[in-house]
Structure 1
Amino acid sequence: MRQIGSSSLHVFPLAISGNIFGWTADTSTTDGILDTYFDLGGNFVDTADSYAAGRSEIMIGNWMRDRRNRDDMVVATKVGKSFDNPGLSAGSIARSVDLSLERLQTSFIDLLYLHIDDESVPFEETLLAVDKLIRAGKVRHFGVSDHTGNRLFEARIASAQIGVAPMIALQNQYSLLNRTEFEGDLATVADRQGLGVMPRFALASGFLSGKYRSRADLRRYTRGKDASGYLGRRGLRVLHALDIVALQTGESVATVALAWLLAKRNVVAPVVSASHAGQVPELTAAASVRLTRHQITELDRASA
């Protein structure tokens, strides 16, 4: 287990995303994914009030109710993008959280993310609204998922000035094929503020699983178009480097790609989707893989 920032939250080093629950994954598939993840030691599920118009939260809530394992799970959800309560005004946040609690069938959210950077609302209003929820026991901790380094710096200053709970987590796009968004100001701010980093799109829309190596492969899979932008000289170079390390470690390409992330400073748990339960073991296997310095350097060079 890894600690998120300086909080009391300790999570498995890989979070299962609920972004397909209630969309491409029905109840049986969702339960199978979550059951397998939990049986392998997983305890961290990531969703949002906007995923499948709230159905993702409902399915996760039903699963926890049926398994009676809410106390064993760390639940993260996000507010700001829902159709009914968009934005990060105090009213929208309060209403969104109450609805999320109802759908998740729980009295508290472990980690609440601000899903957008709503510059139409003063940071102070948003932070005070979240702090009120924390004081009420409805939310334990909060983080952000769509903010620049400068905005994180502004949020830290605002939090100190008005005396509210500080953020503990950052969720952002980060993978071997998407490094520039994080490896700059965001990485610096995350380090200085002690934020736990949860990379999303950790497998670059499935491209880093290694199954897309030709245009024919893209056509073969339903979600191939999401990965099509990575099929080029750089993408194939990264896959070649992953193939070498996978052969050296005896692990899958996807496992190695996630292990590379877990070797990076402040990364706590990449957020990854599984289409079915059979994919979960190779994802969770990344938690026990320790890449050598040379292997990390070779992957860094290939993805530069």
Structure 2
Amino acid sequence: MKHIKINNVEKSISSLIMGSDYFSPDNQEKVDGVIDSFLEIGGNTIDTAFIYAGGQSEKAIGNWLEQGSNRDKINIWTKGGHPNQNGHTINQKELYDQLQTSLERLKSDHVQLYALHRDDLTVRVEDILEWLNEHVQAKRIQTFGASNWSVERLEEANNYAAKHGMEGFSFSSPNLSLAKAKEPYWPGCVSVDQNMIDWHEHSQLPLFSWSSQARGFFTGRFTRDNLENEDLVRVFYNNENWERYDRAEGLAKEKGCSLIEIALAYVLNQQFPTGAIIGPQNRDELISCGEGAKISLTVDEVAYINLNR
């Protein structure tokens, strides 16, 4: 499996990143088995967040970390700053409080990666960078990134950081998938467009995609006439995405692999460093993801299935 080197993080980041929004101490045995199988296929990074399952995701990961020598095997990536019922939480106090709570749940004094779950355009990037750099200096986090930020804000922040000798954002996490979102899956979410692709190719800032397999669009369970999943229909059903589906299905047959493995390979074969957050819930699904991560696509193949040629 490919790995990505991130500033200040001791272990490089596996191109497959284990999603954990369904993790809970209530299904701890399943969680332990999935993480152990993820390590077996070469993965080493788990994605979680302050809000996932009301904090139960972080607690389940903390339980796993507490077992034996697990802590040295894995990179933990958690997120804070998601809006709540009172609005945005991108401020110094709430970010500090959320991170402290996350660390308590994870039973750890630090995480390798931290990201802001959303942006708040009313807050200056200068202030945000000051707060995040304080957490790096206090060794609560090794590096930080941004989830669902625009390239304009990322560029503004990193230009300011470079000018003032500060740590900047070392990765971004929008939605990148072969199926293109017609509208945000959740409010405030950002999906990759051509401008963002061009910016990442130029900057080479690593991108870790959520919903990298388009919420199951490429599993084969859905067809043009199957409208049972309202969110999938709302976000991904259009003629262009079904044409991408057909082209990817044909390429999968040529390469002797599954359609969903081609969809995953699309994310991992960009012209800049990429990782894909995956959500397998059993060993077979993990093995499929591992096979998809091994597939190499040419620039022409990536362009073809994405309707660019």
Question: Is TM more than 0.5 here?
Answer: yes
The yes-or-no answer on 1:225 pairing with 2:230 is: yes
User: Cα offset for 1:30?
Assistant: 2.3
User: Cα offset for 1:127?
Assistant: 1.0
Larger RCO of the pair (alpha carbons < 8 Å, separation 6+): 1
**What TM-score, normalized by structure 2, do the two folds share?**
0.87
User: Cα offset for 1:203?
Assistant: 1.0
User: Cα offset for 1:179?
Assistant: 7.2
The yes-or-no answer on 1:298 pairing with 2:304 is: yes
CA contact (8 A) 1:208 1:254 kept: yes
User: Cα offset for 1:155?
Assistant: 0.7
Q: Flag the 1:67–1:190 CA change in 2: closer, same or farther, 3 A.
A: farther
Q: Percent identity?
A: 23
Please give the residue correspondences for 1:118-157 in structure 2 after superposition, counting only pairs within 5 Å: 118-157=120-159
- 1:56 — aligned with what? 57
Distance 1:84 1:183 in 2: 30
User: Cα offset for 1:277?
Assistant: 3.4
SS in 1 for 2:46: strand
Q: Flag the 1:119–1:108 CA change in 2: closer, same or farther, 3 A.
A: same
Q: Flag the 1:67–1:38 CA change in 2: closer, same or farther, 3 A.
A: farther
Aligned residues: 297
SS in 1 for 2:144: strand
Higher helix share: 1
Which amino acid in 1 is paired with 2:301?
Answer: Q
Distance 1:242 1:193 in 2: 28
Please give the residue correspondences for 1:71-110 in structure 2 after superposition, counting only pairs within 5 Å: 71-81=72-82, 83=84, 87-110=89-112
User: Cα offset for 1:167?
Assistant: 1.2
SS in 2 for 1:291: coil
SS in 2 for 1:26: helix
**What TM-score, normalized by structure 1, do the two folds share?**
0.88
Q: Deviations over 1:157-191 (max 9, x none)?
A: 33234432111100001111127942433334334
Q: Flag the 1:69–1:241 CA change in 2: closer, same or farther, 3 A.
A: same
Distance 1:284 1:276 in 2: 13
Q: Flag the 1:188–1:245 CA change in 2: closer, same or farther, 3 A.
A: closer
For structure 1, the 5+ residue unaligned runs are: none
Which amino acid in 1 is paired with 2:176?
Answer: Y
- 2:66 — aligned with what? 65
User: Cα offset for 1:36?
Assistant: 1.5
Distance 2:224 2:37 in 1: 31
Match of 1:263 among 258, 269, 283: 269
